[in-house]
Amino acid sequence: MLTALLPPERIRVPLGSHSRHALFRELLELAMPDTDAATREASFQSVLAREGEASTAIGDGLAVPHGRTDAIHEIWMAAGIVEGVEDYAAPDGVPVRACFLVVTPEKDAGLHLKVLGRLARLMRDDALRTALMGASNAEAFCAVLASAETR
């Protein structure tokens, strides 16, 4: 499921952002390269609104910024490894290293929750987190995810 939504061209290792908002924008550009600026901005605002409720940094170096908006008609995802995003408040104090962006249409709440749940289940695995954070490129990141999804 995740590997179908996250081909290598939607993964960047390493991501270049050094602030939370810049990271969200970089991931949106990666997820939606052919969409117009207004659609990406609406998606950015949906992610910011969700982030305003509570940090999407979930601990153990992981973050899953996400949002829902009427501006899109299909799910968009991007992911990558990031260094030095100091303003991303994680509950355990561990800096965010692996980040998965999920943006879905407002009407697809079920799909939104399904994808977030799948990510949460996979990311509980210490070995998987370590392997993702050690990925040297997008293809290696994809291979780790693909391996985890076949278990």
Mark whether 73 is an active-site residue: no
The answer to whether 18 and 84 are in contact (CB under 8 A) is yes
Catalytic residue, chosen from 18, 21, 66, 112, is 66
Q: How far apart are CA 4 and CA 58, in angstroms?
A: 23
Q: Hey, CA dihedral for 13, 29, 68, 1, is it positive or negative?
A: negative
69: tokens are 């908006």
Looking from the CA of 135 toward its CB, the CA atoms found within 13 Å total: 29
- Find how far residue 41's CA is from the centre of its chain: 17
The answer to whether 24 and 32 are in contact (CB under 8 A) is no
State the catalytic residues: 66
